[in-house]
Amino acid sequence: MQNAPVKRAFKYRFCPTDAQAAELSRTFGCVRKVYNLALAARTEAWTRRERVSYNQTSAMLTAWKKTEQFAYLNDVSSVPLQQALRHLQVAFTNFFGKRARHPRFKSRKRSRKSAEYTASAFRFRDGRLTLAKMAEPLDIVWSRALPVGASPSTVTVSQDAAGRWFVSLLCQDPSLGPLPATSAAVGIDVGLDHLVVLSTGEKIANPRHERLDRARLARAQRQLARKARGKGANRAKARRKVARIHARIADRRRDHLHKLTTRLVRENQTIVVEDLIVRNMVKNRKLAGAISDAAWRAFRNMLEYKATWYGREVIAIDRWFPSSKLCSACGSLQGAMPLHVRTWTCQCGTTHDRDVNAAKNILAVGLTASVCGAGVRPQRSTPGGQSAMKQKPPRREP
């Protein structure tokens, strides 16, 4: 039985004409306005202990368009406005399901500029994409080919803070499917000196993308700080310069993580990682910048969805498991081990590299948990020879 094709988004840059840029900017503004109006209406209703559904907000949108105050909503395609209401409905569903915070109002300066078009609001023929309310197709830079015979079901147009325009096409990709099974498994220990250390002993350096451009970024930020606040062209130009440097850093980081995670998923059937809570770790003011630059959470997210694509397995073990202090050879548990200790010798005579030893232990506990059930850990003992895990007394024979 073949698996159903996976939906995958293909993102490209494009260069809009002046008319297209003006139309998309109006659409972004209307999407933001409708979202905020609907959010305000639902929040006000909630104070009266009433719930407002998507259908009710859709009826509100129809009424808003008939008023003189919001008549400009008729100038753009109605599909992105309806999609904004659907996104708000999903946000409230996640909020009531305790999976997310309460939805927040969109800001003209800080929120992402985007608009989503469904199949009724665009035409895609012979590799040419034309959106509703536009006479000409978008000038897309096709950096990679779409799957053969693919037809987009949804198109999302966006503009980032650096002024770059992107279009994302959601298509079914029949080329994605389980890879040939393999017996290879790997444990991964993430860090700052090395981005990841594998249980095989391989160490992958941390590129520190932010550090490479730190001087340029600081200089651009100083120039921005000198510009008077307001709507001046010089301040906008300085702001875009800062945004371009940030975009350059983010693009290189994302590219490196994609190449690394794709390689790990293709080479290994089982991948074991630690279940780190990065949002708590970045509260350390001394390490917050370095941890954010390493992007551990993005690394794990990529591993997980690519493993789903290719029929692999990602196992996350308990973050409190003492992987660095546990001897992978004899299982004895060491005492306190400060971060500056990078190598240590166990009582059994084995000398360990701290990170490689941790990766080996992560792999061992992950494979044990996958076979025996979640939460199971390998037996380990203290330097005195006693078990570090609580053991039951021997059963007496009658």
State pLDDT tens for residues 69-89.
Answer: 999 999 999 999 999 999 999
Residue 340 is predicted with a pLDDT of 81
For the segment 132-177, what is each residue's pLDDT rounded down to a tens digit?
999 999 999 999 999 888 889 999 999 999 999 999 999 998 888 8
Sequential DSSP letters for 123-151:
EEETTEEEETT-SS---EE-SSPPPTT--
CA 56 to chain centre: 32
Among residues 23, 116, 189, 293, the one annotated as catalytic is 189
How many Å apart are CA 287 and CA 281, to the nearest integer?
Answer: 8
At residue 36, what is the residue type?
A: N
304 catalytic residue (yes or no): no
Q: Is the distance from CB of 118 to CB of 79 less than 8 angstroms?
A: yes
Region 171-194: mean pLDDT is 90
Is residue 257 scored above 80 in pLDDT? yes
Q: Is the distance from CB of 304 to CB of 265 less than 8 angstroms?
A: no
Is residue 388 scored above 50 in pLDDT? no
Comparing CA positions, the residue from 203, 396, 394, 188 lying closest to residue 296 is: 188
Domain boundaries, the chain: 6-173, 185-372
275 catalytic residue (yes or no): no
Instruction: Indicate the average pLDDT of the chain.
Output: 88
Question: Roughly what angle, to the nearest 10 degrees, separates helices 18-47 and 54-65?
Answer: 120
Region 297-311: mean pLDDT is 94
Residue 197 is predicted with a pLDDT of 93
pLDDT confidence of 377, banded at 50, 70, 90? very low
Among residues 23, 116, 210, 355, the one annotated as catalytic is 355
Residues 6+ apart with CB under 8 A from 383: 332, 333, 334, 335, 347
Cα atoms in the Cβ-side hemisphere of radius 13 Å centred on 90: 6
Residue 76 is predicted with a pLDDT of 96
Beta bridge partners of residue 159, listed in sequence order: 113, 165
274 catalytic residue (yes or no): yes
Is residue 393 scored above 80 in pLDDT? no
Q: Is the distance from CB of 252 to CB of 208 less than 8 angstroms?
A: no
Beta bridge partners of residue 115, listed in sequence order: 157
Buried b / exposed e along 138-154 (16+ C-beta atoms within 10 A): bebeeeeebeeebebeb
